[in-house]
Amino acid sequence: MEVTQVTPMKDLNPLFGNEAFMGHEQVVFCNDEETGLKAIIGIHSTTLGPALGGTRMWKYNNEMEALRDVLRLSRGMTFKASISGLNLGGGKAVIIGDASKDKTDDLMRRFGKFVDTLGGNYITAEDVGINTHDMEMVKSQTDHVTGIPESMGGSGDPSPVTAYGVYMGMKASAMYKWGTDKLEGKVVAVQGIGHVGENLVKHLTEEGAKVYINDINEDRLQTVSKEFGAEIIYGDGIYDLDMDIYAPCALGATVNDVTLQRLKCAIISGAANNQLADEQIHGKAVMEKGIIYAPDFLINAGGLINVYSELHGYNRDEALRKTENIYDTTLQILKKSETEGVTTHQAALSIAQKRVADHK
Ligand code: NAD
């Protein structure tokens, strides 16, 4: 008897049918054999303005993983811009490859050319694996780029401003939980001490918090530990630490079924995008455990606020002042979550979605 293999529908529709596609306007696949560039640009929404979001270079295990990442990230950018009151849409790009081995100036320039073909619908900036020098290469091919070096009239690395916003969100969460926003003596574990994480460690140690640091890069652990007197915690031991605040500042989805069995913190507040592996399931699980979760797309918006300012004649003081508003917005969201009995993620998302819908 002949057996017909039936391919599941989801495998036949990996693009528009991708669970992360949710409302995307445009997805662009960029391929250049000469430089080896393989990139995907996701434009989730241009309702509030041009889609602005960084470019990430990462060694994905496969193309579907890269696609899912860019789609989830670009959607997050729409809501990040919206809740921050910026007239920007949401977009993001990923370059598939190992930033430490595969990245060349030619590859970045070629990427810049692709960005240029979108005529300003998408504006790029730095993200994981990409630095201001790379943005300089992109800038040589297109004007639709932010986060370029200060020497070229740009706003430079947005990470310190992102870290400041995360710090504001963390203090607001502390105020909500403990009735004081003083972090002195609080135990904070920072996972990922890269551009943002290191700056966050600086704010925290300056205030007298007891800071633990965690990273996969041993050199960084030694350097940051030495500079700020932070204690190192290796591997996934971070999830078992007796801590007040868990600050995910590496990659997303670290708040999931496995880690939630172990996390004993009172607050989750960090820079990483898409911290909840599943927004609904883990948003609810966090709430049920009595943990205050400061929505990532709200508190990590400082960098976006900073590059937005670059588009309108950069003013660092004003960017920092606007970033400080993250404190009040976080408090407002935490209260809304409690009064309406919804997760903090949902409370923030509904405000962001409403602003986009009203604009439409
Ligand atoms: P980065 O690449 O400078 O730093 C990331 C750090 O995380 C690195 O030191 C890396 O070694 C470490 N890391 C990677 N995997 C890890 C793991 N499994 N466990 C522990 N550490 C690990 O990136 P960044 O610019 O500091 O951004 C950090 C996070 O914040 C990212 O998720 C990024 O998307 C998000 N974010 C950054 C900005 C910004 O302004 N840079 C803005 C908003 C959101």
Tell which of 104, 135, 151 closes a domain: 151
113 and 177 share one domain: no
This prediction has a pTM of 0.92
97 and 234 share one domain: no
Tell which of 110, 133, 151 closes a domain: 151
Range of the domain at 219: 159-359
198 and 269 share one domain: yes
Asked whether the predicted pLDDT for residue 2 surpasses 80, the reply is no
Asked whether the predicted pLDDT for residue 1 surpasses 70, the reply is no
pLDDT for res 340: 97
- Residues above pLDDT 70, as percent of the chain: 97
Domain assignment present for 275: yes
310 and 277 share one domain: yes
Asked whether the predicted pLDDT for residue 304 surpasses 80, the reply is yes
Would you say the C-alpha torsion 260, 261, 263, 265 has a positive or negative sign?
Answer: positive
- The closest alpha carbon to 194, from 285, 130, 267, belongs to 130
pLDDT digits (tens, 9 = 90+) for 69-120: 999 999 999 999 999 999 999 999 999 999 999 999 999 999 999 999 999 9
277 and 307 share one domain: yes
- Of 17-21, 98-102, 205-209, 243-247, the one with minimum mean pLDDT is 17-21
Residue of the nearest CA to atom 20 in ligand 1? 215
Domain assignment present for 17: no
With contact defined as beta carbons under 8 Å apart, do 339 and 346 qualify? Answer: no
Q: Which of 38, 80, 92, 322 is catalytic?
A: 92
What CATH number is associated with residue 301?
3.40.50.720
Atom of ligand 1 at shortest range from CA of 301: 43
pLDDT for res 148: 87
116 and 223 share one domain: no
- Cβ count near 189 (within 10 Å): 26
pLDDT digits (tens, 9 = 90+) for 220-266: 999 999 999 999 999 999 999 999 999 999 989 999 999 999 999 99
pLDDT digits (tens, 9 = 90+) for 314-345: 899 999 999 999 999 999 999 999 999 999 99
Instruction: Compute the mean pLDDT over every residue in the chain, rounded to the nearest whole number.
Output: 95
With contact defined as beta carbons under 8 Å apart, do 148 and 136 qualify? Answer: yes
With contact defined as beta carbons under 8 Å apart, do 81 and 52 qualify? Answer: yes
Q: 253 in ligand 1 pocket by Cβ < 6 Å?
A: no
Q: How far is the CA of 68 from the centre of ligand 1 (A)?
A: 18
Dist. CA 195–CA 174, nearest whole Å = 24
325 and 302 share one domain: yes
Q: How many domains does the chain have?
A: 2
Dist. CA 344–CA 280, nearest whole Å = 10
What CATH number is associated with residue 33?
3.40.50.10860
Asked whether the predicted pLDDT for residue 147 surpasses 80, the reply is yes
205 and 137 share one domain: no
Residue of the nearest CA to atom 41 in ligand 1? 159
135 and 243 share one domain: no
Half-sphere exposure of 64 (CA within 13 A, CB side): 10
Mean pLDDT of 27-50: 98
Active site residue 171: no
Q: 217 in ligand 1 pocket by Cβ < 6 Å?
A: yes
Query: What residue spans of 269-343 are helical by DSSP H?
Result: 279-288, 296-299, 302-311, 316-324, 326-340
With contact defined as beta carbons under 8 Å apart, do 97 and 56 qualify? Answer: no
Q: Which of 127, 191, 234, 259 is the pocket-test mutation for ligand 1 (most atoms within 8 Å of CB)?
A: 127
Q: State which amino acid sits at residue 301.
A: A
Domain assignment present for 249: yes
Reduce the DSSP state of residue 106 to 3 states and report it: helix
61 and 96 share one domain: yes
